[in-house]
Amino acid sequence: MRAANKAFIIALDEGTTNAKAVVLDDKGGVVAKFSRPLAIQTPREGWVEQSGEALIAASLEVIAQAIAHVGAEKVAALAISNQRETAIGWYRQSGRPLSAAITWQCTRSAAYCDALRHENKEQLIKRTTGLPIAPLFSASKMRWLLESVEDGPQQAARGEICLGTIDSWLLWNLTGGDAFCCDYSNAARTQLLNLHSGQWDDDMLALFHIPRAALPEIKPSSGPFGHTRGLAAIPDGIPVMAMVGDSHAALFGHALGELGCVKATYGTGSSVMAPVKSARSDIAALATTIAWHDGDRLVYGLEGNIPHTGDAVAWMADSTGLSELSEAELAHELNSLPTSVESTLGVYFVPALTGLGAPWWDDSARGTICGLSRGVKRAHLIRAALESIAYQIADVVVTMQQHNDFNLSALMVDGGPTRNDWLMQFQADLLGCPVMRSDVPELSAIGAGLLARKALTPGSLADLKACLTLHSEFRPDMARHRHLQKRWQEWREAVNRTLWKPDARA
């Protein structure tokens, strides 16, 4: 039990483009937040990576600022939410990374994934892990990391190399190398976890050539992971009481996993996740995953991952000259331009910039803008980019209806692009269901903080409901919903163009 004066939880939200530390009070409210940008490197086509040292430096800096803001004596615990599927390896003795972290967007292992498909391993992998074959997931990235260094597999088998997702990398550094652990939600995204047993799977380890000795211990998302140690600006002894993938944290932060509350996180890419009661994994286009372990039980999630949503708008803004504007001016333009025109004039933008994710799963697909005519202006292109977010999310939601546990009462949304009111109303009209936008943008941090709060003050999930944030509601216009079904079908035809391949026999 925490001391009475230790009222604050500091939640680190380590994303793809920023590391943020959010100070949460004992009611779950945001007291302060600190942020540092993170750089992304693309050394080759399809390769996306980040410096592991830079991730740690930015994360420690914002945590230190948050602790200094409230005083270390008032901090009850740290909580971590992190970008998922990104893989990193490091030498156990020195803590030095093998190379840059390979991010979730990277497709360098696509050829290896294709080879697994040709070897008919798809069903085995999906049945065991709940995940389709795709370079998105961590196992093929970890294999690449080991093969990129001399005697990598042999060193890993001897326990000299650690392989992990970003939560384990952060924990290792926060605890001075004392703790090498990950949580169930991040382990479930590696393609090495048996979804049914909740343990590393021997067949998957053998298939991907990953030694068990190189992997972290799996722990519940809510519970003790270790204590800070040996850091210049962070006092020793602060407990880390929660770790969870960022999309899972957002789902928890919205409604604590209430059935029917489907979550869509709008970020660089998007995760659409629905809580389900079983580990059923026979829907080929979607992933079945572990949403979290709350310290009492495992909760499953049905998910579709989309690599380019906010990233699609950023690309279009850059391509049409809007990226030269200030952040405030850009936000204004993205809100005003789509409402300045009545439609896209038949333009559809399919942002398969490094391939298509759910429900299509085509790594070789590349982006398409179709329907261009002489009258098309920048406003139509920006509107097409924003509409592409809503279409992609709706495609995943419709696919989820194949699961017998699936129920949609509302789409709970979070992330930067949700600040766009026009986009939120379009999403509600397209799906024909309410869209509930969190009024607090730091939802992943809040979800991780609530899991830490549950570990500090054990009780039922109902005890946490008082800490949930308020939402703004966008109700669907059902007449417009019916009208948009034709547009949605035209979008799917545009996707089919993206999936088209030339005849190799010609």
- Would you kindly state where each structural domain of the chain is located, as residue ranges? 8-255, 306-438+471-499
CATH topology of domain 306-438+471-499: Nucleotidyltransferase; domain 5 (3.30.420)
**Dihedral sign for Cα atoms in the order 322, 324, 326, 329:** negative
| Among the listed residues 32, 7, 10, the one whose alpha carbon sits nearest the alpha carbon of residue 235 | 10
Please spell the DSSP secondary structure of 220-260, one letter per residue.
-SEEEEEE--S-SSS-TT-EEEEEEEHHHHHHHHHHTT-TT
SS3 493: helix
Q: What is the pLDDT of residues 415-437, one digit of tens each?
A: 888 989 999 999 999 999 999 99
SS3 383: helix
CA end-to-end span of the chain: 71
Higher confidence at residue 341 or residue 470? 341
- Work out the percent of the chain whose per-residue pLDDT is above 90: 77
Number of other residues whose CB lies within 10 A of the CB of residue 277? 11
Please report, for residues 12, 19, 83, 273, the alpha-carbon distance to residue 15 in angstroms, rounded to integers and kept in the order given: 9, 6, 5, 18
* Whether the bond into 359 is cis, omega within 30 of 0: yes
What is the distance between the alpha carbons of residues 400 and 406, in angstroms, rounded to a whole number? 7
Query: Residues 6 or more apart from 424 whose CB is under 8 A from it?
Result: 413, 418, 435, 437, 474
pLDDT at 194: 96
CB-CB contact of 56 with 9 (8 Å): no
- Strand 471-474's sheet: what is its strand order? 287-293, 298-306, 270-276, 261-266, 410-414, 435-438, 471-474
Range among 3-12, 102-111, 126-135, 170-179 with highest mean pLDDT value: 170-179
What is the average per-residue pLDDT within 337-358? 93
Ranking 154-158, 277-281, 286-290 by mean pLDDT, the lowest is 277-281
Q: What is the mean pLDDT of the chain?
A: 93
Q: What is the pLDDT of residues 215-224, one digit of tens each?
A: 999 999 999 9
pLDDT at 112: 95
pLDDT at 305: 87
What is the average per-residue pLDDT within 322-350? 93
pLDDT at 41: 93
Q: What is the pLDDT of residues 386-405, one digit of tens each?
A: 999 999 999 999 999 998 88
| Among the listed residues 269, 239, 247, 138, the one whose alpha carbon sits nearest the alpha carbon of residue 185 | 247
pLDDT at 281: 84
What is the average per-residue pLDDT within 129-148? 94
Domains 8-255 and 306-438+471-499 share a fold: yes
How are beta strands 270-276 and 261-266 bridged, if at all? antiparallel
Q: What is the pLDDT of residues 352-363, one digit of tens each?
A: 998 898 999 887
- Work out the percent of the chain whose per-residue pLDDT is above 70: 98
pLDDT at 468: 86
- Does residue 47 have a pLDDT over 90? yes
**Residue 185 amino acid letter:** S
Higher confidence at residue 261 or residue 221? 221
What is the distance between the alpha carbons of residues 110 and 130, in angstroms, rounded to a whole number? 19
pLDDT at 139: 97
Q: How confident is the model at residue 267 (pLDDT cuts 50, 70, 90)?
A: confident
- What is the CATH superfamily name and number for domain 8-255? ATPase, nucleotide binding domain (3.30.420.40)
Q: How confident is the model at residue 278 (pLDDT cuts 50, 70, 90)?
A: confident
What is the distance between the alpha carbons of residues 180 and 90, in angstroms, rounded to a whole number? 12
Please tell me what DSSP assigns to residue 340. G
What is the distance between the alpha carbons of residues 407 and 400, in angstroms, rounded to a whole number? 9
Angle between helices 138-147 and 110-118 (to 10 degrees): 110
Name the phi and psi angles at 250, rounded to 5: -65, -40
pLDDT at 213: 97
Q: How confident is the model at residue 3 (pLDDT cuts 50, 70, 90)?
A: very low
pLDDT at 115: 95
What is the distance between the alpha carbons of residues 344 and 316, in angstroms, rounded to a whole number? 14
CB-CB contact of 399 with 408 (8 Å): no
pTM: 0.87
- Does residue 87 have a pLDDT over 80? yes
- Does residue 174 have a pLDDT over 80? yes
What is the distance between the alpha carbons of residues 24 and 368, in angstroms, rounded to a whole number? 43
- Does residue 1 have a pLDDT over 50? no
Q: Where are the alpha helices (DSSP H) in 26-150?
A: 52-70, 110-118, 122-129, 138-147
What is the average per-residue pLDDT within 14-39? 93
pLDDT at 5: 73
What is the average per-residue pLDDT within 294-322? 92
